[in-house]
């Protein structure tokens, strides 16, 4: 494949520099910029992306991942249709004029989270997920210099979620330094859990070729980016020696049935939390829009939260490598993610017609949106971490808004790194 470089790639390179500089301005110790970590983290991201997309064998692997996710989705829909009948997409009792109206978020997306929650618990119980997390933990420990406990926490956060990863390293929580604690919070903001990954693929599968591959890559490469930005903002103290960690865990199930039962309950909790947050955040934005309706028209259109966010985040979208003519739309998607969660952002991204956004921009936005860094996650993180580490709650409250900024920028940094690579890697 011809690897060519264009102005949009250089644009993304500029964005990488600007994002690193922005985090340095927030640093608690500006004299300790982690140069080696910056080089190492970016190289790890590039290597992962090349491994997933540029090698001939990788296409077969990603096709298998996509087929597996589709199989999970199809199997889940059978369960949904059994319980909800035609409302879950089964045989309709009447002629349907608008097929698009059959897509109900609560019945088509949220059940996937419940099924994946049960499957993840089962894979953990039989040791498969433990081996995967251990593998990535060792990689992060060796390549970007994380300590054993934080490396394990970061690796587990990729697959089981933000707060849930704390259970795995519960024995080491009181030994975490301020910098290590901040890393875990930022990585949790920048990552998504395995239980939501398949749902994102389901949402984007109709508009993004190889959606499964890009979601999988985004969920992995954001971790090194988050570690880097966290270390820039809260550097590790000099002379600190990392704790040696046992890659076992206090997260255990009595049997396979116990794992499935508890995983299902955990998945239900996550799904209901997502539904509740979406209802509240969408309602609050609607209220703000009603209040803004009294303002003078802006270019002939009412002032809305969406339009304001589009303008505010347009420069950031451009720095990721998005053409300026698409930057306001991309900035709007970023703003939706920050205020209304990544779920709504993915739904909005999927609703943009093919001629309304280039494939390259859609790929970059997939990486930028794929993370939990939103205003609603602040409360969830404080509640979860506060329950596990009550003595450090004041410290967490001091760090949480910096973590939101770092987590949000980490996914944008991942998008910029993707944009800085030759477009031919992704077949664009």
The pLDDT assigned to 1 comes to: 47
For range 242-269, the mean pLDDT: 73
pLDDT, tens digit, 9 for 90 and up, residues 177-198: 888 888 888 988 888 766 677 7
User: Is residue 4 in some structural domain?
Assistant: no
User: Is residue 387 in some structural domain?
Assistant: yes
The pLDDT assigned to 82 comes to: 82
DSSP 8-state code for residue 247: S
Nearest one of 288, 289, 332, 282 to 307, comparing CA atoms: 332
For range 283-291, the mean pLDDT: 86
User: Is residue 346 in some structural domain?
Assistant: yes
The pLDDT assigned to 314 comes to: 93
Other Cβ atoms closer than 10 A to 394:
9
The pLDDT assigned to 18 comes to: 95
User: Is residue 1 in some structural domain?
Assistant: no
User: Is residue 98 in some structural domain?
Assistant: no
**Is pLDDT of 364 > 90?**
yes
How sure is the predictor about 243, in pLDDT bands with cuts at 50, 70 and 90?
low
Residue 227 in tokens: 């570690």
For range 265-283, the mean pLDDT: 79
How sure is the predictor about 103, in pLDDT bands with cuts at 50, 70 and 90?
low
The size of the chain, in residues, is: 428
| Phi, psi dihedrals of residue 248, rounded to the nearest 5° | -80, -170
**Is pLDDT of 242 > 70?**
no
pLDDT over 90 percentage in the chain: 16
**Is pLDDT of 334 > 90?**
yes
The pLDDT assigned to 21 comes to: 94
| Phi, psi dihedrals of residue 80, rounded to the nearest 5° | -65, -45
User: Is residue 3 in some structural domain?
Assistant: no
pLDDT, tens digit, 9 for 90 and up, residues 23-43: 999 998 888 888 888 888 888
User: Which range of residues forms the domain containing residue 382?
Assistant: 9-87+103-426
For range 72-89, the mean pLDDT: 79
The pLDDT assigned to 275 comes to: 79
Residue 242 in tokens: 């990392």
How sure is the predictor about 315, in pLDDT bands with cuts at 50, 70 and 90?
very high
Which 3-state string (H, E, C) describes the chain?
Answer: CCCCCCHHHHHHHHHHHHHHHHHHHCCCCCCCCCHHHHHHHHHHHHHHHHHHHCCHHHHHHHHHHHHHHHHHHHHHHHHHHHHHHHHHCCCCCCCCCCHHHHCCHHHHCHHHHHHHHHHHHHHHHCCHHHHHHHHHHHHHHHHCCCCHHHHHHHHHHHHHCCCHHHHHCHHHHHHCCHHHHHHHHHHHHHCCCHHHHHHHHHHHCCCCCCHHHHHHHHHHHHHHHHHHHHHHHCCCCCCCCCCCCCCCCCCCCCCHHHHHHHHHHHHHHHHHHHHHHHHHHHHHHHHHHHHHCCCCCECCECCCHHHHHHHHHHHHHHHHCCCHHHHHHHHHHHHHHHHHHHHHHHHHHHHCCHHHCCHHHHHHHHHHHCCCCCHHHHHHHHHHHHHHCHHHHHHHHHHHHHHHHHHHHHHHHHHHHHHHCCHHHHCC
For range 325-354, the mean pLDDT: 88
Round to whole Å and give the CA distance between 334 and 312. 10
**Is pLDDT of 380 > 80?**
no
Residue 186 in tokens: 């930022």
- Beta carbons of 287 and 316 less than 8 angstroms apart: no
**Is pLDDT of 102 > 70?**
no
User: Is residue 2 in some structural domain?
Assistant: no
**What total number of domains does the chain contain?**
1
For range 50-78, the mean pLDDT: 73
Residue 137 in tokens: 């933990």
Mean pLDDT estimate for the chain: 80
The pLDDT assigned to 216 comes to: 81
**Is pLDDT of 247 > 50?**
no
pLDDT, tens digit, 9 for 90 and up, residues 382-395: 777 777 777 888 88
For 55, how many CA atoms within 13 A lie in the half-sphere containing its CB?
A: 12
Say which residue, 307 or 42, is predicted with more confidence.
42
How many angstroms separate the most distant Cα atoms in the chain? 71
Which residues are registered as beta bridge partners of 298? 301
User: Is residue 265 in some structural domain?
Assistant: yes
For range 121-125, the mean pLDDT: 81
Say which residue, 42 or 275, is predicted with more confidence.
42
The pLDDT assigned to 128 comes to: 79
């Amino acid at each position: 494949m011809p690897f060519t470089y264009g102005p949009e790639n250089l644009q993304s390179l500029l964005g990488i520099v600007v994002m690193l500089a922005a985090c340095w301005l927030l640093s608690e110790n500006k004299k300790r910029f982690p140069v080696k970590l910056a080089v190492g983290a970016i190289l790890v991201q590039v290597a992962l992306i090349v491994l997933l997309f540029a090698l001939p064998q990788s296409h077969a692997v990603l096709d298998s991942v996509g087929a597996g996710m589709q199989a999970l989705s199809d199997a889940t829909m059978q369960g949904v249709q059994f319980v909800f009948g035609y409302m879950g997409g089964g045989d309709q009792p009447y002629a349907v004029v608008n097929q698009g109206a059959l897509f109900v978020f609560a019945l088509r997306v949220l059940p996937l989270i419940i099924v994946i929650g049960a499957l993840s618990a089962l894979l953990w119980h039989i040791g498969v997920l433990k081996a995967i997390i251990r593998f990535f933990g060792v990689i992060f420990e060796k390549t970007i210099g994380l300590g054993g406990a934080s490396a394990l926490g970061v690796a587990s956060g990729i697959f089981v979620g933000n707060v849930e990863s704390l259970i795995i390293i519960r024995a080491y929580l009181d030994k975490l330094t301020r910098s290590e604690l901040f890393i875990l919070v930022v990585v949790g903001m920048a990552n998504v859990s395995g239980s939501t990954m398949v749902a994102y693929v389901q949402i984007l599968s109709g508009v993004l070729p190889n959606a499964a591959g890009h979601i999988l890559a985004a969920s992995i490469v954001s971790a090194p980016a988050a570690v880097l930005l966290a270390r820039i903002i809260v550097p590790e103290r000099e002379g600190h020696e990392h704790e040696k960690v046992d890659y076992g865990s206090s997260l255990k199930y009595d049997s396979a049935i116990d794992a499935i039962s508890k995983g299902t309950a955990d998945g239900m909790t996550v799904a209901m939390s997502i539904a509740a947050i979406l209802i509240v955040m969408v309602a609050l934005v609607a209220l703000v829009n009603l209040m803004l309706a009294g303002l003078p028209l802006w270019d002939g259109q009412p002032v809305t939260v969406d339009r304001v966010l589009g303008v505010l985040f347009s420069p950031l979208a451009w720095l990721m490598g998005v053409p300026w003519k698409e930057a306001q739309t991309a900035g709007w998607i970023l703003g939706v993610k920050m205020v209304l969660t990544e779920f709504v952002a993915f739904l909005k991204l999927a609703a943009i017609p093919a001629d309304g956004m280039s494939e390259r921009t859609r790929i970059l936005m997939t990486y930028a949106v794929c993370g939990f860094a939103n205003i609603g996650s602040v409360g969830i993180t404080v509640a979860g971490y506060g329950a596990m580490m009550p003595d450090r709650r004041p410290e967490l409250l001091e760090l949480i808004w910096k973590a939101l900024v770092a987590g949000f920028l980490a996914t944008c940094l991942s998008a910029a790194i993707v944009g800085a690579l030759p477009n031919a890697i992704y077949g664009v």
